[in-house]
Structures are given as structure tokens and as C-alpha cells.
Amino acid sequence: MKKYKGYLIDLDGTMYRGNEPIEAAREFVNHLHNKKIPYVFVTNNSSRTQEDISLKLNNMGVPSTPEQVVNSSAATAIYLNGLKKGASCYVIGEEGLQVALEDEGLLITEEDNCDFVVMGIDRNVTYEKYTKACLAIRKGATFIATNNDKAIPTERGLLPGNGALVSVVTVSTGAKPIIIGKPESIIMEAALSKLVLNKEDIAMIGDNYDTDICAGINAGMDTIMVFTGVTSVEELPDLKIKPTYHVSSLQEWMEFI
């Protein structure tokens, strides 16, 4: 087993399910912290701010700072600001996404003649919100999605993810969004920039093959799949490109650090 100098770590399904910590997750990150091995949390969750996510982790006994969190809302805001400073955005999403966009100086608008339609998870989504998004895209707005996750692992089970919401707009307009989150490169580049290490010395850890593991594979990194969330161990034989390593729990990986 290879010893890595740094880790990118998923959250939902890897560190916790909803508000329920996953067994051995706290011990694993504390082990990294005590050994001074750098780590960054990479999440497709756009509903919370980096500060809120860090606070949630610390309350679970997982050492974290906001600077160690790269979420899809922050990555989206940085990306859009790079395309057009002060751009106008019609937003379907929760506080984390709206705060991130405003912090980058982007304008949130209810008008349909905007530059971008930005979609993140919105647990209060309505037909009217979908309507405004579709009208704006038909008028020429560029369609952006924080992530395309089909499902979110929670203490209740797998709930509809942002990809399920995005599909409504895609079906209606025929427009495919630019995806910011895993498995795409935009969020991974933002996360890797926080670890001053060569990619071959970093492993991506996650529970979701289609997002976490494929993100690592696409980025040319080694990957460690943990079967505590979306992808089950029964699916492993059918995966076209296998993760570099797989474990049933992060407890198993601690002995290789």
C-alpha cells in the first residue's frame, strides 16, 4: 500500500450522513491531523458556506478550518467571476450558494435577462423557480450547475440530489449545464491548489464512484473508495475503471498512514 503525503476527502457519505457521523471518520481525520498530513475536504454540497461546513465538522470532533473546505458553491463563484466580473445570476439554491456568489461580487437577480442561471440544491424549489430558470436560458443565459449528483446520502437514506433538479431544466430547455463539482475538473483544481504537493502524492477519498472516484481518476490521481455511502461493494466488479484501493471503513486505511 502506498503512503500518501496528502488527501482530498469527500464529506457526504464519507464523513457523515446528514447530521450523523460515519464510524471511524473522526478518528481517521484526527490521525491525519496528529501526523501533520495535510488534507482538504472537497464537497459537492452547495447549501452551506465553508464556515458552516467547517463548524459542523468541528462539532463532530473532526478538525477543520474554512480554508480546508472546498465546496461547489465557492468553486462556482470563483469560476463565474473569472468569466465575467459582476455578472448577473438567477439562482436556484440555498444560503451557501447565494453567499458565495455575493462574496465574489456577483449580482443575484430575479430578472430573466441575466448572464447566468446557477442551480444548486434547493429544498424549497418551486415550479415558478423552474419557470424563471427556463425562461432565462431561452433568452441566452448560460446554464451552470454546482454539481450533478443524482442522490445525497442522509440519515434517512438516499435523497434527490441537485442532478435530479437540474434534469428538469435540461429536459425543458434542451440546455446541458456547465458542471462545477465532482467529477469535473473545476472543483478539483481549486482543491489541489490548496495542497502544495504533486498529484501522485495525493489520494482522493470518497464513497460515490460517479463523483468522488471519477473526479480523482479524471484528475490523474490515486483513489480510495470507502463503502459507507452511495456506491456499494456489490457494484465494484462492474466498475469499468476500478479505484486504486477500496476499504469498508476508513479505520482500515489508518494502518497505512
Residue of 12, 112, 149, 207 with catalytic role: 12
Alpha carbon 125 to chain centroid distance? 20
User: Would residue 222 show up in a list of annotated catalytic residues for this protein?
Assistant: no
Q: Residue 175, class by beta-carbon neighbours within 10 Å (0-12 exposed, 13-18 middle, 19+ buried)?
A: middle
Residue of 10, 115, 210, 222 with catalytic role: 10
- Residue 146 dihedral angles phi and psi, to the nearest 5°: -60, -35
User: Would residue 12 show up in a list of annotated catalytic residues for this protein?
Assistant: yes
Contact call for residues 11 and 41 (beta carbons, < 8 A): yes
Helices (H), ranges, the chain: 25-34, 50-59, 72-83, 95-103, 127-138, 162-173, 185-192, 214-218, 250-254
CA distances from 44 to 50, 84, 173, 213, 225 (A): 12, 23, 24, 13, 17
3-state secondary structure of 20: strand
**Catalytic residue ranges:** 10, 12
